[in-house]
Structure 1
Amino acid sequence: MTNEIILSNRLKNIMDFLPAGSFFADIGSDHAYLPIAVCQHDQSAKAIAGELNEGPYRSALEHVTTQRLTDQIKVIKGDGLEVIQFEPVKQVVIAGMGGGLICSILEQGKHLLKDVDRLILQPNVNSEYIREWLLNTDYQLVAERILAEEGHIYEILVADIAVTKARYEYSDKEILFGPYLIKEKNNVFKQKWQRERKNYRRIIEQMLRAKEPDLIKINQFKLKEKWIEEVLKDD
């Protein structure tokens, strides 16, 4: 018996960036909700649900089998991008992790990305690490989206294989805020950076109370706080 999977708003937004007839890998797929929902809506789509840990791997396998989608979705147990080494996937989704961990997965498995023309990345924190990582690759940031759900704010970064060899450069400010998000500056963006400004102020105050304050780090946080004020004022 099959039931239509109802995705969270976060996963629905990720799904928006997958083309019709996609063959994608969802790294850290958990219950395989995203691959199932995509394949339920698009019978020409195929997916790899990749999981490292036994529990989530078995859960994904069970869900895919119950939904009768084993012809479209392959559940593979493995570490990061190693699940795609024998699969000619065209898109890779890595969602729900820290930006640092996502970069680590991409860096360790970048030799496996030869057939992949799109990366859809949703970091829970530190999206700037991903933007910086992309600058040293053949991928080019083509879209960004920011959304709020259940008290959390999420960013989605989409990067495609660059059509030209010209290397893209972003300023430090664009890497922090996102070159697309800083242009759009929607309400969720403003909400996030108002929150971050308070956070930076708290960190600076705590660091200044130390016996030997780290002035280099303090000045780095002060610079980011200044950028936030400029961006929020600049309407």
Structure 2
Amino acid sequence: MHRSSQANLFPPVPLADLLARAAMLSAPADATDLTRLRGLLFGRLRATGWVPSGDLRGRPPRLADSDEALLAALVRGDAAAFDALFDRHAARLNGYARRRLRLQPADAADAVQEAFLVLFQKAEAVLAHEPVNVPGFLFGTLRNKAARLLAARSRDAAVDPPDDRELSLDEGGLSALLQRETAERLASLLERACNPLEQEVVSMDLDDRDGPEIALALGITPNYVRQLRHRAFGKLREALAEEEPS
């Protein structure tokens, strides 16, 4: 992906990380069903072999309790650290899954649980990364799960490609324009305008991967890739138009 000369003054940040950051900033809090979700997640953690111990559950997190310290304590079995991490991030993850991604309640609950479970499973790698970014990892995992759910649903649907007469003649120009954007700006546009599956298609398209390659990576048909690209470019064009001074 091309960068502006100003952007090249700074170390590049992967687009996936920037999309996770954009998701974090746009996430509304939603406490719906969090008590039930907490219980399900605690049980699934125990099923992995994790044995809770340490302080009593429900201890309020102290201001000095960083995400890094809480994750390290969770790995050691600290049940209070589990509650503190959950209380700190679950409502916004749940809000993003239910309201921003419009997942069904069962799918949203599953996606939020998976985000925390993958965090636990990959805690060593997350803690070794500088800087430690627990919310970024959680939101990135949630986005990936949502994209897989949307792709799985599409595999069961008969999808026709857009008619060639409906394709905009300036999609090539829009693609070139997007490639000139900084990664930060592109991530913001994608997060605001497109769902996770559309974001994945556009990201891979701008990385010069063709339709069959994208279809294979996402487990969907090339026709559906074409439709998603067309739909996403339309949304991005509208988002850009809204920013133009009237």
Fold-level similarity (TM above 0.5) = no
Structure showing greater relative contact order (alpha-carbon pairs closer than 8 Å, 6 or more residues apart): 2
* The structure with more helix, counted as a fraction of residues: 2
* The structure with more strand, counted as a fraction of residues: 1
Q: TM-score with structure 1 length normalisation?
A: 0.28
